[in-house]
Structure 1
Amino acid sequence: MNFNLDFIVQPLQKFFFLIHGGVHTVIPNYNLSFGLTIIIFTVIIRMILLPLSVKQLKSTAKMGAIQPEMKKVQAKYKSDPQKAQQEVMKLYKENGVNPMGGCLPMIIQMPILLALFYVFNTLNMKGAGFLWIPDLTKPDPMYILPILSTVTTYFSSKLMQPPTADGSQSKQTSTMNTGMAIFMGFMSLKFKGALVLYWVINNVIQVVQTVVINKAELGKKTDNVQLSKK
């Protein structure tokens, strides 16, 4: 296997079928138990990765919160890029922001996400369907999952995008998010239903996590502003 991820893939596969054994005991119908296991398995993995996700999202939220101040600094020292950079770094330090803080959690998660991609793309459960899908080892014939993949990928990426002081950069990032969503939707037309179902559930959880954490960070910022006025 590529990337030498067998040490992650094999335990994940065993864990998946362990969960499926429990679900299938309660719900003997493969057309329900297989799909439900994918959902439960995805939720559990996301919960395990939650501390890393929270750290990444908090870092992104903090970066977004100081964007107005960064914009002022960049405008003030427009003719002196070196001074502007020094002031931006000072702003980072004062607000406890690490510009690379969101990268490390993402890097740590990547091998696991790649392994999950392989797990769901190689599940040997031929003939097991879920709801409107007759066979999750084949692409969705009704194209509902590819549509959901496109929509959830877009909103997940959009919410993860921090506000930027540069309008052109923000527009470019937004265009990239749209392009990624369309690309994932197109690929989902060919991917197995099990893999796309995992991806959709993963995106939905990511959206919920991002909204909750962003609201929490916004609440902290509001409280700090009110305290500073007293």
Structure 2
Amino acid sequence: MNPTWLDFLAIPLGRLLKLIYDFLYGLHIPGSYGIAIILLTLIVRGLLLPLYIKQIQSTSKMAEVAPRIQEIQQKYKNDQKKMQEEMLKLYQETGYNPAGGCWPLLVQIPILFALYYVFQNPLVYVLGKSHQYVKDLVQGKAGYAITQTIINEAQKLGLDMHFFGINLAQKELIVLPILSAATMFLSVFYSTNSQKRFNPQYAQSQSNAMAEGINRTMMIFSPLMSYFIALQVPSGLVVYWTVVNLFTILQQFIANEVVYKKLKHKKEEEERRKQLEKAKDNQKKDELESKEENQEERSVEATGKEDENEEEKMRKKELERLKQQMTRSQSSSKKKKR
């Protein structure tokens, strides 16, 4: 058995598993190895929780920018360079990272493969034996006989890998594969429905027939894939994967109650703020229009008064002219009488 490039992960994970197992076994707890796997899973998932929260935030941000992305793609569909420039501007403006939601998955993949080596070869990764020790032990053997030899040697060295009657270093073909598939289905189903419930923008962006078809396919394909993989790997890895599915459901519940509700509350606050700003703008606009109307009225009144003053002046002038005419007329009559 040769070292693998994942030994840098498999060795510390195996040592941590052994540490937890020794503690539980020292307390004479039945199924200590299986319980140690469950606790190791919870520790690993707990360490990955911050990445999961970032993934949720990235998904929510993606739902917000999706309509603008589609608008840019439609507007610049014939100009790829301009499209890329506008998309980059949008990402910088909104702080959205398209790769932000991929990190949890990318981190999980090497951990999953590392745990596969841990459960398949407990002599090296749990009990600390060298690869040369195992290579000498299984020399001349092939296929499943190698795994069986490793398991028997690990049990001789005091590692009890039984959990409720199942040897977690071997394959289990009934209970654990079905349990793995069932928890995978529940995880995908709960996650999809949570997105639709707590993230309306995401739901709207996924409302087309193609996206709905993808969701339905995932609900069927993911459990089936989980089931067939579980038939091929050591049962310890299946226990890990089943606990991961259950923990994912718990994470989604926490996301619903904490992250999504917080984001929803934040969006509602932003909507209220926008409505208040709009109301203030409308009020200012109404006040400005009212002032303009008052100014117009005052202007009209002033104009009317000026017109009245002009008419009054005209009347006074006319009266003065008439008086002068009458005075001249009277003077002329007196002269004629003389």
CA 174–189 in structure 1, closer or farther in 2 if over 3 Å, else same: same
**Residue identity opposite 2:39 in structure 1:** I
Could you tell me which residue of structure 1 aligns to residue 182 of structure 2? 151
Could you tell me which residue of structure 2 aligns to residue 99 of structure 1? 98
**TM-score, normalisation: structure 2:** 0.56
Q: Deviations over 1:89-119 (max 9, x none)?
A: 6665554322211123432343222212221
**Residue identity opposite 2:169 in structure 1:** T
Q: Is the 8 A contact 1:56 1:106 kept in 2?
A: no
Could you tell me which residue of structure 2 aligns to residue 4 of structure 1? 5
Q: Deviations over 1:17-42 (max 9, x none)?
A: 1110001011254xx21111111111
**Residue identity opposite 2:172 in structure 1:** D
Could you tell me which residue of structure 1 aligns to residue 148 of structure 2? none
Q: Is the 8 A contact 1:59 1:97 kept in 2?
A: yes
1:194 corresponds to 2:194: no
**SS of aligned partner of 1:27:** coil
**SS of aligned partner of 2:97:** coil
Greater gyration radius: 2
Measured after TM superposition, the shift of residue 58 of structure 1 is 2.6
**Residue identity opposite 1:134 in structure 2:** I
1:1-230 matches, cutoff 5 A? 4-29=5-30, 32-63=31-62, 65-66=63-64, 70-71=66-67, 74=70, 78=74, 81=77, 92-123=91-122, 124=151, 128-131=161-164, 133-140=165-172, 143-158=174-189, 159=191, 163=203, 164-165=205-206, 166-228=208-270, 229-230=272-273
Question: Which has the higher relative contact order, 1 or 2, with Cα contacts under 8 A spaced 6 or more apart?
Answer: 1
**Residue identity opposite 1:56 in structure 2:** Q
CA 182–62 in structure 1, closer or farther in 2 if over 3 Å, else same: same
120-129 or 73-82: bigger deviation? 73-82
**SS of aligned partner of 1:49:** helix
CA 45–70 in structure 1, closer or farther in 2 if over 3 Å, else same: closer
117-126 or 75-84: bigger deviation? 75-84
Aligned length: 223
| Counterpart Cα distance in 1 of 2:250 and 2:168 | 25
153-162 or 98-107: bigger deviation? 153-162
CA 77–49 in structure 1, closer or farther in 2 if over 3 Å, else same: closer
Q: State the Cα RMSD in Å.
A: 3.2
Measured after TM superposition, the shift of residue 87 of structure 1 is 6.9
Q: Is the 8 A contact 1:73 1:84 kept in 2?
A: no
Q: Is the 8 A contact 2:184 2:223 kept in 1?
A: yes
CA 24–53 in structure 1, closer or farther in 2 if over 3 Å, else same: same
**Residue identity opposite 2:20 in structure 1:** I
53-62 or 86-95: bigger deviation? 86-95
Measured after TM superposition, the shift of residue 61 of structure 1 is 3.5
Measured after TM superposition, the shift of residue 186 of structure 1 is 1.9
Q: Deviations over 1:165-222 (max 9, x none)?
A: 4431342254145213202112213432211111100111122112312443321232
**TM-score, normalisation: structure 1:** 0.78
CA 208–55 in structure 1, closer or farther in 2 if over 3 Å, else same: same
| Counterpart Cα distance in 2 of 1:193 and 1:54 | 29
**Residue identity opposite 1:153 in structure 2:** M
| Counterpart Cα distance in 2 of 1:120 and 1:88 | 45
Q: Deviations over 1:103-154 (max 9, x none)?
A: 23432343222212221233345563222x332223335x221112112223
Q: Deviations over 1:47-99 (max 9, x none)?
A: 12222222223322332x42xx6347737975653688777666655543222
Unaligned stretches of 5+ residues in structure 2: 123-150, 196-201, 274-338
Q: Is the 8 A contact 1:78 1:84 kept in 2?
A: no
Q: Is the 8 A contact 1:61 1:214 kept in 2?
A: no
Unaligned stretches of 5+ residues in structure 1: none
